[in-house]
Amino acid sequence: MATVGVIRFPGTNCEFDTVEAIRALGGDAEILWHGDSSLGDVDAVVVPGGFAHGDYLRPGAIARFSPIMGAVVDAAADGMPIVGICNGFQVLTEAGLLPGALQKNAGLKFINAFQTLRVESTNSVFTSAAEVGQELSIPINHFEGNYTCSPETLAELQANDQIVVTYVGNPNGSVADIAGVCNAGRNVVGLMPHPERASHALLGSEDGNVMLRSLLQSVGATV
């Protein structure tokens, strides 16, 4: 069975939720340690939310130098599905696997709330099972989630259909309402919202499952 590796850095706090949500869908997931330099035999990687290395210097700035990130960069180049959620998105931008950066929220507040998202592209490993225009209720939980990039990068993202999900009602000032983007190869996706926190009716929404299901399907799991 295909296995999703979920990386734990010192300060990560969403790894168990992510593993649990994947397993609840019938997928297989295991925790990977940031200090290892190999991904073992996993078929996909999730960099989950939290405060890797205490967010010191900048969110993701130190995590990108963790030993496991070399293996993640190599795997991304080989086409392995790599997903960064919240702090994981920040780590992937710092590592240069995704364009742009996450700056502090425009409203100067940490925001923890359910947010309506709109699927903009289904041509990515994290949205392939969704539909363009589909609206998803998924929570955000961040202070530095205000996506920014140069006008040239934004034009490129738009031209290449790399904006994966946008906010309906922009909560944090992100340019072009961007909530998540993918790389040119479409196998690396980063987003600020937490799909694993919208994976069961008891959590208030199951809308995140379509994303987790997309990831599992991208590595051949039948879920």
Partner 1 sequence: MKFHAVVDIQLHPGIADPQGSTIERALPTLGFDGMSNVRSGKSVHLDIEAADAAAAEAQLQEVCEKFLTNPVIEGAEITLVEVS
Residues engaged in binding partner 1 (CB under 8 A): 57-58, 61, 65, 93-94, 100-101, 103-106, 108, 146, 148-150, 173
CB of 90 vs partner 1, minimal distance in Å: 10
CB of 140 vs partner 1, minimal distance in Å: 16
CB nearer to partner 1: give 16 or 143: 143
DSSP state, residue 49: S
CB of 7 vs partner 1, minimal distance in Å: 20
Under 8 Å between Cβ of 209 and 195: yes
Q: Is 86 a catalytic residue?
A: yes
CB nearer to partner 1: give 33 or 65: 65
Q: Is the dihedral of CA 199, 205, 211, 216 positive or negative?
A: positive
CB nearer to partner 1: give 37 or 150: 150
DSSP string, 6-18: EEE-TTB-SHHHH
CB of 106 vs partner 1, minimal distance in Å: 6
Q: Choose the catalytic residue: 34, 53, 86, 182.
A: 86
Distances (CA, A) of 194 to 73, 115, 180, 185, 191: 22, 10, 11, 23, 8
Q: Is 156 a catalytic residue?
A: no
- Residue 220: Cβ within 10 Å count: 10
Q: Choose the catalytic residue: 34, 53, 142, 194.
A: 194
CB nearer to partner 1: give 100 or 195: 100
For the chain, the straight-line distance linking the first and the last C-alpha, in angstroms and rounded, comes to 11
Residues annotated as part of the active site: 86, 194, 196
